[in-house]
Amino acid sequence: MTTTGKLTTGLALLVGSLLVFGGPAWSGSKDKKEKDETKEAVEMSKTAKVTVEQAIKTAQEKVAGKVIEAELERKHDKTVWEVEIVGADDKVTEVHIDADSGAVIDTEMKGAEKKESKGKGKAKKD
């Protein structure tokens, strides 16, 4: 075997070994983040008094449309259900529901800056 062939073979073995034994560099941080988010969601679910079914029902009473996602999150310094609903206008509205009381905290057009908060009235449309 020539010197060039030996170098190529050695380089291929080195790269292969790094991939097999080292794994992709990006996998560790992504897996850790997912595990942390899952652990946080489990902890929040233990303290939430409102079920996902109750949160969805409340959100549908507030905003007409089809529910596409419901997720337990930390917002507004408390545990809230965030329910996303697609309306007849094909716009997505997030409804934030207090996971302890079941009260609607606010609604938010996804991607919009304006919110409708409880007690503040509706946001003006430009």
Using one digit for the tens of pLDDT, what is the confidence trace for 32-87? 888 888 888 888 888 899 999 999 999 999 999 999 999 999 986 899 999 999 99
Residues 66 and 111 placed together within one structural domain of the fold: yes
CA distance 46 to 101: 15
User: Is 17 within a domain?
Assistant: yes
Question: What confidence tier does 119 reach under pLDDT thresholds 50, 70, 90?
Answer: very low
Question: What confidence tier does 122 reach under pLDDT thresholds 50, 70, 90?
Answer: very low
Give the domain extent around 36. Answer: 3-43
Do residues 53 and 61 make contact, with C-beta atoms less than 8 angstroms apart?
Answer: no
CA distance 81 to 97: 5
Lookup: tokens for 29: 């941080």
> pTM for this structure?
0.63
Provide, rounded to the nearest whole percent, the portion of the chain with pLDDT above 70. 65
Residues 74 and 98 placed together within one structural domain of the fold: yes
Residues 11 and 72 placed together within one structural domain of the fold: no
